[in-house]
Amino acid sequence: MELKSQLQATKDELLALTERLPEQKIFSPQDCQEVLRRGHKASGMYKIKPKYSPEEFWAWCDLTTSGGGWTHVLNRFDGSVDFLRNWTDYKMGFGDLSGEFWLGLEYLYHLTGSKQNELLFELVDWDMTKINAGYNKFIIGNEGEGYELKSVGKFPYGTDDSMSQHVNMKFSTPDKDQSPGKCALAFKASWWHKNCFDSQLTGVYADRGLGKNNQNIYWNSFHAPPYSLKQIRMMIRPVD
């Protein structure tokens, strides 16, 4: 009986000690690359929290393309979401993460502010011809800096570069046009505009590529306006 009592006392002490230990917190992954490294294999929606972000948020993680680990920033393929939006919408994001959407400049700033990221564009025309454009150092500023495109780095792969020209440009929306030529206001599309005709991936979705008034979706070195692209994916991933 004495041994049984001692064992029970030890058990009670261990239980009391366990109750006093701090609860183990499981932290959200910082980005989609960390989602992949935690063993997830299926692309889809995951909650992430970049290092300096004040809160976690949902993102679409592509865990298969070119090794996986990509956070989608922009996805367009059928015109189901209206991209003619104001500054607040582009700041906080809009659309459906399982469909067409814009992630949000504020989230994009936190993602690029904590790690060096590479940037990938996948562009498809109406003949289903596809090109990729990749950059190795994508950084944007905070809202006080107008979400300025600070860098895209080098253009290490792909055939058509229409993004490097936008470096040092602030993001513009029709209701807050910070571009030299007032391009967002003139062409009803939000982007890091410079001379209006390098790239514009948030323009009006035009069926069969029949754009008009240069308000369409274009990547100038692939298809210049008024041609409008069919599909676009813009995504980022930390550089190892």
Q: What is the pLDDT of residue 25?
A: 56
**CA 156-60-48 angle, 5° bins:** 100
Q: What is the pLDDT of residue 14?
A: 45
Question: 41 pLDDT exceeds 60?
Answer: yes
**CA 69-144-186 angle, 5° bins:** 85
Q: What is the pLDDT of residue 12?
A: 59
- Mean pLDDT for 134-157 is 93
- Mean pLDDT for 97-105 is 97
CB 204 within 8 A of CB 91: no
Which residues are registered as beta bridge partners of 234? 74, 121
Question: Within 10 Å of residue 136's Cβ, how many Cβ atoms?
Answer: 16
For the chain, percent of residues with pLDDT exceeding 90: 74
Query: How are beta strands 157-158 and 199-200 bridged, if at all?
Result: unpaired
Q: What is the pLDDT of residue 16?
A: 57
Helix, strand, coil fractions of the chain, as percent rounded to 5:
25, 25, 50
* 55-90 confidence digits (pLDDT tens): 999 999 999 999 999 999 999 999 999 999 999 999
Instruction: State if pTM tops 0.75.
Output: yes
CB 193 within 8 A of CB 163: no
DSSP state string for 152-196 = -----EES---SGGGTTPPPBBTTB--STT-HHHHHT--B--SSS
Question: 138 pLDDT exceeds 80?
Answer: yes
Domain 32-171+231-238 CATH class label: alpha beta
For the chain, percent of residues with pLDDT exceeding 70: 86
Instruction: Output Rg (C-alpha) for the chain, integer angstroms.
Output: 23
Structure tokens at 115: 């790690």
Least confident of 20-29, 166-175, 205-214: 20-29
Query: Residue 45 belongs to what H/E stretch?
Result: strand 44-48
Residue boundaries of the structural domains of the chain: 32-171+231-238
Which one has a higher pLDDT value, 171 or 24?
171
Q: What is the pLDDT of residue 137?
A: 95
Distance CA 103, CA 202 (A): 12
pLDDT band, residue 105 (cuts 50/70/90):
very high
The type of residue at 194 is K
CB 235 within 8 A of CB 71: yes
- Mean pLDDT for 177-188 is 93
